[in-house]
Amino acid sequence: MKSNPTVSVIMPVYKVEDYVGAAIESIQAQTFSDFEFLIVDDGSPDNSGAICDRYAQNDDRIQVFHKENGGAPSARNYAMDRARGKYYYFMDSDDFAEPEMLADMVSLAENAQAQLVVAGFYIDTYYSEDKFRRDELFAESCVYEDKESFRAAAHGLFDKNLLYTPWNKLWLRSYIEERSLRFPQTFWDDFPFVLSVIRDAERIAVTDEAYYHFIRKRAESETAAYRSDMYDKREEEHGWMEELYAYWGVDSPQSREFLSRRYIERFIGCLENLTNRDCKMNKKEKKAEIRKMLQNPRVDGALKYAKPRSMMMRLMLIPIRQKSVFWTYAEAKTISFVKSRNTRIFAALKAGR
């Protein structure tokens, strides 16, 4: 194994025995071969770790580490402490990537001398075993050569969902290590890590090419499951965004509108979370929680500046503007019904919001 590979590919693994093989093979199939592949079996109780070991036996670029379960953040950090590449690339173990991904991203990083490369990606939402809807998210290619130009344009990249996840990015390792940045030990650790990197970044390159396939298929995945603390997490996230823009000193009409629309869209997601079939509250308790949520001052602030981009979203905001608990609850129930009964329609509506 090379002592100084160009890229350190890092992948945490936990309960993905049906998917991890495809993820590994998509990295092995990369046209760019100068990488080390650090796979961390995070105490997975199924055969995921053994599957990874079998791949490592036939590919000396792969190293598999087995550790007690500590969550995806600890697994990524464990690998980062052992990585030797010039760049980090973070892979999820239930997704896959196009073969040209690393080659194109490394070339762009080198040519632009970028601290971070941001690429487009695909969302593949399965509504049966072999049928799915594919949405492509990307922004126009651009190299931001200073922090001011990036900060002024960041709302557009956030709006395209390009600045939330780690797997559509190539990261300059020296930049991260100089600042001792690591994934925080929290649920949805991806987002605060990305924020910590872009906070002071000065050279960021964006490509309009899409390579990564984010798979929405597993019912038990974090993006699909009910969470009792979702509302609190979303409120915390919005606080992070407000703090970031205050730190940047950016308060343009465009960024203000984006932050407001982002908040209210996720607020609706929190309402639906309450009517999710896995929520154990009774109807009275759910309505009481909705009443409390509607009184949050952030809701009125967001409604003041947000400009919904579809008729559907404008209609969905009516009961929220009116602070009608009855109709807000009915709306959330309808969303939950569609989400649980017809994944195809729900994915189309969400993409068109």
Higher pLDDT: 353 or 100? It is 100
| 21 pLDDT more than 60 | yes
Same domain, 96 and 19: yes
| 349 pLDDT more than 80 | no
Q: Which of 216, 251, 281 is a domain's end point?
A: 216
Q: How far is CA 73 from the centre of its chain?
A: 13
Q: Which of 186, 216, 246 is a domain's end point?
A: 216
The pLDDT score that the predictor gives to residue 224 is 57
First to last CA, the chain: 47
Average predicted confidence (pLDDT) for the chain: 93
Q: Which of 168-172, 219-223, 285-289 has the lowest mean pLDDT?
A: 219-223
Return d(Cα 342, Cα 323) in angstroms, integer. Answer: 28
Return d(Cα 131, Cα 127) in angstroms, integer. Answer: 6
DSSP 32-65: ---EEEEEEEES-SSSHHHHHHHHHHT-TTEEEE
Q: Provide mean pLDDT across the span 25-42.
A: 98
Same domain, 247 and 306: yes
Higher pLDDT: 104 or 125? It is 104
The pLDDT score that the predictor gives to residue 78 is 98
The pLDDT score that the predictor gives to residue 344 is 67
For 76-203, where are the E strands, in sequence order?
87-90, 96-97, 116-126, 132-137, 142-144, 169-172
The closest alpha carbon to 77, from 127, 163, 12, 167, belongs to 12
The pLDDT score that the predictor gives to residue 1 is 59
Contact 91, 58 (CB under 8 A): no
| 282 pLDDT more than 80 | yes
Classify residue 277 as exposed, middle or buried by CB count within 10 Å of its CB (0-12, 13-18, 19+).
exposed
Same domain, 145 and 271: no
The closest alpha carbon to 118, from 148, 162, 79, belongs to 162
Same domain, 167 and 240: no
Tokens of 131: 């049928």
pLDDT band, residue 188 (cuts 50/70/90) = confident
Same domain, 203 and 279: no
pLDDT, tens digit (0-9, with 9 covering 90-100), for 197-253: 999 999 999 999 999 999 987 544 444 568 889 999 999 999 999 999 999 999 999
Q: Provide mean pLDDT across the span 333-339.
A: 89
| 267 pLDDT more than 90 | yes
Question: Three-class SS string for 103-119?
Answer: HHHHHHHHHHCCCEEEE
Q: Provide mean pLDDT across the span 330-347.
A: 81
> 121 lies in a domain?
yes
> 2 lies in a domain?
no
Structural domains of the chain, count: 2
The pLDDT score that the predictor gives to residue 79 is 98
pLDDT band, residue 342 (cuts 50/70/90) = low
Contact 160, 146 (CB under 8 A): no
- Region of residue 204 (phi > 0: left; psi between -120 and 50: alpha; otherwise: beta): beta
The stretches of 221-323 forming alpha helices (DSSP H) are 230-248, 253-275, 283-294, 297-305, 311-321
The pLDDT score that the predictor gives to residue 341 is 72
The pLDDT score that the predictor gives to residue 2 is 61
Same domain, 133 and 156: yes
Same domain, 47 and 19: yes
| 261 pLDDT more than 80 | yes
**% of the chain residues with pLDDT over 90:** 85
Q: What is the CATH number of the domain that holds 202?
A: 3.90.550.10
Domain residues for the domain of 56 are 7-216
Asked whether the CA dihedral 332, 338, 339, 340 is positive or negative, the reply is positive
Contact 56, 39 (CB under 8 A): yes
